[in-house]
Structure 1
């Protein structure tokens, strides 16, 4: 609802500005408003558009508050933090109880290294809007960076009381539990989280990653995988999470078997009914022309990569690409590889084994999932003579 209201406000502001100013000038105020408020223009363009509108005479108090805020954010994105602070201060002069401006000014003060001013603005913003998940989350990060771990924990706990599905707060709280109490703190937090929030996927995703990266507890990881499938039922989900567990810490052959089953299901989804007989026949013919019936290895390779097994992904993807004709290979290399930022030479399109090997290697490393968002450090085992 807040997003919709914000969008309506942007549109309404653009209309108000254009309606009050078009009669006085040939300037396109609607275009300027979209540049200032739209969030897609370059920083300098947004600053210029907001400035032009602020210098006009048609903006009422609400519009001036918004123009200062949006120009402040454009300055912030351009790393002109002092200018951002000035604009947010101007916005607050119009509406002193504007929690958004206070929060954004806190970001700018923090970036400038003025932690005292930032802390004051964070506190003021939360006094005005104590249920703001975004403010609580950002304030907890600020507190944590500045050595106030307990305050950070309280903020994250408050966010989860307001919305137990706010996974970002959950993941941060898990890391903070480790920071405060080590792996015992992590395990206690996960145990309490499963009791308190049994239907939140971030809880079981945390447990799954914790087991895969640190404990190696196969049964616990499979239980987490089962719960993830329970919360998002479907054949692919039922197979993928157990596959991930087996590929990491279980029976590798079973994991490979699950991945192959998912690939068959995906192929079936691609080739399922498309309408009339002619449409189905035509679509099947195109698929065969492009990929020669060898699309399953491509699916397998991508799933292996996403499961963090590039060693298994590379041969399947390379085999698939070599079996495709030029048109099918070009479709995949342009649609998947190039869009992932991989530079694809002409020789790879032509089917050169060495060039395909290189682009596949780069692509797999780009998409491989390494579960790196956990900040925990694996404990070093002590030798018996220490």
Structure 2
């Protein structure tokens, strides 16, 4: 192909879709990607991006269809399709995709967290905890998710430990759960400190000064 040859239709459409996505217009981006997906020679990136945009629009069946159009879904596509299946209520298909992703990379944190939280909600607490402990060993911020398994097992000391580690590693949402755990442990000063840290991090709002006054 010479340098003067026009770009294929799918390339022009994909570029326009990217521009629409960057402008926050996901609906237009999806329409352009749907059109691109039907063009001759459409590349796998079109279907991957269509799946991602569909997820953002909470069009889970659309995301599943897009990722399923890939001849060889890669790791990220497996994880994303698993999430779409999970949110669509198809737990078994979600589990299968997360496990397939982990066959490609046993240390993929996103796949581990998604599978672990899925098992906590729909499967075995022990299985979920084991997977989340693996994720936590790789990335301490996932202590936020691991704490759910530890709290379910009644191990509040360990839950507080991993939540502190998650917060220190850069997961501010852990402060809110830490405030709850410290309250459950009876350490009201630590609970208050964690809640104040959550406010400072912008993940909690300061209670109205008058709330509860006189009660």
TM-score normalised by structure 1 residue count: 0.43
Distance 1:21 1:121 in 2: 40
For 2:152, the equivalent position in structure 1 comes to 179
Shift of 1:79: 3.8
Q: 1:117-173: CA deviations, max 9, x gaps?
A: 221111001111222211111111211110321121112111111122x2xx21222
Greater RCO (CA < 8 Å, at least 6 residues apart): 2
Distance 2:209 2:109 in 1: 41
Q: Which runs of 5+ in 1 are unaligned?
A: 1-18, 226-240, 246-301, 314-386
Q: Pick from 27, 37, 44 the counterpart of residue 54 of structure 1.
A: 37
Corresponding pairs, count: 201
Flag the 1:158–1:242 CA change in 2: closer, same or farther, 3 A: closer
Shift of 1:56: 3.5
For 2:114, the equivalent position in structure 1 comes to 138
Distance 1:242 1:77 in 2: 32
Distance 2:194 2:119 in 1: 38
C-alpha RMSD of matched pairs (Å) = 4.0
Distance 2:209 2:68 in 1: 54
**SS of match in other structure, 2:209:** helix
Shift of 1:90: 1.0
Distance 2:48 2:177 in 1: 40
For 2:49, the equivalent position in structure 1 comes to 70
TM alignment of 1:328-367, pairs within 5 A? none
For 1:288, the equivalent position in structure 2 comes to none
TM-score normalised by structure 2 residue count: 0.71
Q: Which runs of 5+ in 2 are unaligned?
A: none
Q: 1:275-329: CA deviations, max 9, x gaps?
A: xxxxxxxxxxxxxxxxxxxxxxxxxxx9xxx77442169xxxxxxxxxxxxxxxx
Larger Rg: 1
Q: Pick from 58, 61, 70 the counterpart of residue 82 of structure 1.
A: 61
Flag the 1:33–1:210 CA change in 2: closer, same or farther, 3 A: closer
**SS of match in other structure, 2:157:** helix
